[in-house]
Amino acid sequence: LVTKPLGGHDITLTINARLQNIVEEELEKQVIDTGSESGTVVAINPETGEILAMANYPDFNPNRRTRADYPYLANRAVQHVYEPGSTFKLVTAAAAFEANVVSPEDEFDCEGGSITIGRRVIRDHKPFYTISFRKVIENSSNVGTIKVAQLLGERPLWQMANKFGYGSRTGIDLPAESRGILRKVDSWSANSYGSIA
């Protein structure tokens, strides 16, 4: 007795093979050149959210999975939590614009590149003095961004981070996605406020 197969469903990948190859090669090169332990790259189409490339280095050969070192079996792009660093300045900027507490040409005294928040001194990568908010973002000034966040307040900053999806899963169809961490404002310290902004 022969049973005819049932029609299946299509699987359409969004990965761009050419871009994936470039990402893998460049990531390996950068990790080796910088002496880093590891690296991760995710290339996303900003219009659709489609993943165009995703790579981790070091990685493993899936055909020889039993020979792989345990830490490299995880897809660190979706399973590990990491600090967003200076990319989070865009969240602070978005919150400040939405609350109308700043415009691009408003000027901020960046105090020569350092500010004390709580018991911690936070520095810029080079000294800045009075610059526009546009320049604060262009130059990734920690001091200028903190001053904007102080005008904004903690709760609006937290709310914008929540709107951006920090502390939530994206729903990507890959196993063991991490939610990330976005602590409630009540658990922020004076030190964490400067770091978060």
Amino acid 66: pLDDT = 72
Indicate the average pLDDT of the chain.
91
Taking the C-alpha atoms of residue 154 and residue 156, their distance in angstroms, rounded to an integer, is: 6
- Answer yes or no: pTM beyond 0.75: yes
Of 43-52, 109-118, 129-138, 173-182, which range is least confident? 173-182
With pLDDT > 90 as the criterion, what percentage of the chain qualifies? Answer: 65
Which among 101, 102, 91 is positioned nearest to 157, based on CA atoms? 91
In this structure, are strands 114-117 and 107-109 parallel, antiparallel, or unpaired?
unpaired
Say yes or no to pLDDT of 160 above 70: yes
Amino acid 68: pLDDT = 66
Catalytic annotation, residues: 86
- List residues bridging with 42 in a β-sheet: 54
Average pLDDT of the segment spanning 140-165? 95
Tokens matching residue 50: 């489609």
Say yes or no to pLDDT of 118 above 90: no
* More confidently predicted of 64 and 44: 44
Token look-up 């200076």 returns: 86
Taking the C-alpha atoms of residue 183 and residue 179, their distance in angstroms, rounded to an integer, is: 12
Amino acid 83: pLDDT = 86
Which among 62, 124, 83, 132 is positioned nearest to 103, based on CA atoms? 132
Three-state DSSP class for 42?
Answer: strand
Say yes or no to pLDDT of 36 above 90: yes
Write the pLDDT tens digit of every residue in 48-91. 989 999 999 998 877 776 766 666 778 889 998 888 889 999 99
Write the pLDDT tens digit of every residue in 1-35. 788 888 888 888 899 999 999 999 999 999 999 99
Three-state DSSP class for 110?
Answer: coil
Taking the C-alpha atoms of residue 81 and residue 180, their distance in angstroms, rounded to an integer, is: 5
Q: Phi and psi at residue 98, in whole multiples of 5°?
A: -65, -35
Three-state DSSP class for 55?
Answer: strand
Instruction: Say what angle helices 89-98 and 154-163 make with each other, to 10 degrees.
Output: 110
